[in-house]
Amino acid sequence: MRPVMRSSSRALPTALGAVLTAATALATPATGAMAGNAERIVSIGGAVTEILYSLGLARRVVAVDSTSIYPEQALKEKPNVGYMRALSPEGVLGLNPSMILATEGSGPKETIAVLKAASVPYVTVPDRFTGEGIVNKIEVIAAAVDASARAACLAKAVQADLAALTRVRGRIEKPLNVMFLLSFMNGRPMVAGRATAADGVIRLAGAANAITAYEGYKLVNDEAVIAARPDAVLVMQRDSHPLDAKTVFQHPAFALTPAAQEHRFISMNGLYLLGFGPRTALAARDLATSLYPDVGRDAFPSERGAAPGEACR
């Protein structure tokens, strides 16, 4: 029987905006005039908020969305405008922002149209699931808020970590196949294909995505899981309906995979793993060392406890 794969837009979780499929919109150009208005910023998107805080601009942020879980004080100290794909015009504009910085893919479309038509500068921050995409994200935000000097410092730190990742990948002789499991729906697994944040971070870590037949996140049948032969299963940590190794490997399809035989199961913080922000290279490093224990961490410039950009504020 041939593997069958079905998509389900309703099944995409609302826990993290980081698990978005790639889109094609370009960032709104930022001008000097716009930068002068960046004193009351509504930040939409976990990576956007993380970058603003890494640039030392927390005081300018007047509100964040529910995916802005790092640093922790963002959601604790700032008003929450809701999930980035379920925004309301009133919830955002009611905070009297002077600028809106929003991750590509924010929505719904009707709300974004209203926000763009308002007299408040609206900057779309592109979301590309590559190392270059992270640096570009920093540059777009820096141009919008006029923080180019600190952004150069942050970008340099991120680029150093990405270069270290390249060295790590060079030590890997045989890439493992990794399947990112988002959830189960009525016993059916929803897994990540191409052009997803999961696909991007798996590649950064020197592994191969076990699913390449489609883009985005889709429900697959048991035959598709078995045929993919994943060497490891990757999931994101969550408070509700968490996935653990016992639950996953007791599933009839996953029980027959090399991942189950080797008991390779990795669970990581969702924004850290999938956010494609300043810490993504470190997340990919952690994933790589979980997959390839012999690779080690010594290729990285330092074993810092702080996130990139800590010294750039």
122 versus 307: the higher-pLDDT residue is: 122
pLDDT per position as a tens digit, 8-57? 433 433 433 333 333 333 344 444 445 557 999 999 999 999 999 999 99
Question: For residue 112, what is the domain's CATH number?
Answer: 3.40.50.1980
Question: Which pLDDT belongs to residue 14?
Answer: 40
Question: Which pLDDT belongs to residue 300?
Answer: 63
- 141 and 227 fall within a common domain: no
Q: In what order do the strands lie in the sheet with 61-64?
A: 61-64, 41-44, 99-103, 122-125
Please compute the mean of the pLDDT values over residues 233-243 and round it to a whole number: 90
As a whole number of angstroms, the distance between CA 179 and CA 210 comes to 5
Per the structure, the count of domains in the chain is 2
Cis amide leading into 293 (omega within 30): no
Asked whether residue 231 carries a pLDDT value surpassing 50, the answer given is: yes
Could you give the percent of the chain with pLDDT greater than 70?
A: 83
Q: Which of 2-11, 205-214, 293-302 ranks highest by mean pLDDT?
A: 205-214
Nearest 5°: phi and psi at 230? Answer: -65, 135
Between the alpha carbon of residue 115 and those of residues 89, 118, 121, 274, the distances in Å are 6, 5, 9, 26
Q: Which of 167, 201, 218 lies at the terminal end of a domain, its last residue?
A: 167
Contact 262, 291 (CB under 8 A): no
Question: Which pLDDT belongs to residue 289?
Answer: 92
What's the angle, vertex CA 243, arms to CA 68 and CA 297, rounded to 5?
Answer: 70
- 154 and 181 fall within a common domain: no
As a whole number of angstroms, the distance between CA 128 and CA 60 comes to 25
Report the mean per-residue pLDDT for the chain.
88
- 85 and 61 fall within a common domain: yes
Q: Could you list the residue range(s) of the whole structural domain that residue 237 is in? A: 5-13+174-291
Contact 281, 157 (CB under 8 A): no
Question: Which pLDDT belongs to residue 142?
Answer: 96
Question: Which pLDDT belongs to residue 301?
Answer: 57
Please compute the mean of the pLDDT values over residues 82-109 and round it to a whole number: 98
- 155 and 191 fall within a common domain: no
Q: Which of 147, 167, 187 lies at the terminal end of a domain, its last residue?
A: 167
> If you write DSSP's letter for every residue of 135-152 in order, what string do you get?
HHHHHHHHHHHT-HHHHH
Residue 311 pLDDT class (50, 70, 90 cuts)? low
- 86 and 201 fall within a common domain: no
Residue 234 pLDDT class (50, 70, 90 cuts)? very high
- 147 and 241 fall within a common domain: no
Least confident span in 18-22, 88-92, 111-115, 211-215 = 18-22
Residue 2 pLDDT class (50, 70, 90 cuts)? very low
Question: Which pLDDT belongs to residue 101?
Answer: 98
Asked if residue 306 belongs to a domain, the reply is: no
Nearest 5°: phi and psi at 51? Answer: -65, -45
Nearest to 254 by CA among 236, 217, 290, 229: 229
What lies within 8 Å, CB to CB, of 303 at 6+ separation is 297
- 56 and 120 fall within a common domain: yes
Question: Which pLDDT belongs to residue 239?
Answer: 79
Asked whether residue 84 carries a pLDDT value surpassing 50, the answer given is: yes
Asked if residue 202 belongs to a domain, the reply is: yes
- 225 and 247 fall within a common domain: yes
What's the angle, vertex CA 277, arms to CA 272 and CA 279, rounded to 5?
Answer: 55
- 42 and 141 fall within a common domain: yes
Between the alpha carbon of residue 4 and those of residues 1, 101, 183, 241, the distances in Å are 9, 39, 17, 25
- 190 and 153 fall within a common domain: no
As a whole number of angstroms, the distance between CA 123 and CA 140 comes to 9
pLDDT per position as a tens digit, 114-158? 999 999 999 999 999 999 999 999 999 999 999 999 999 999 999
- 180 and 219 fall within a common domain: yes
As a whole number of angstroms, the distance between CA 23 and CA 18 comes to 13
Asked whether residue 92 carries a pLDDT value surpassing 50, the answer given is: yes
As a whole number of angstroms, the distance between CA 30 and CA 20 comes to 24
Q: Which of 127, 150, 167 lies at the terminal end of a domain, its last residue?
A: 167
Nearest to 233 by CA among 195, 198, 284: 198
Cis amide leading into 108 (omega within 30): yes
Asked if residue 298 belongs to a domain, the reply is: no
pLDDT per position as a tens digit, 161-180? 999 999 999 999 999 999 99
Which tokens go with 50?
A: 């993380």
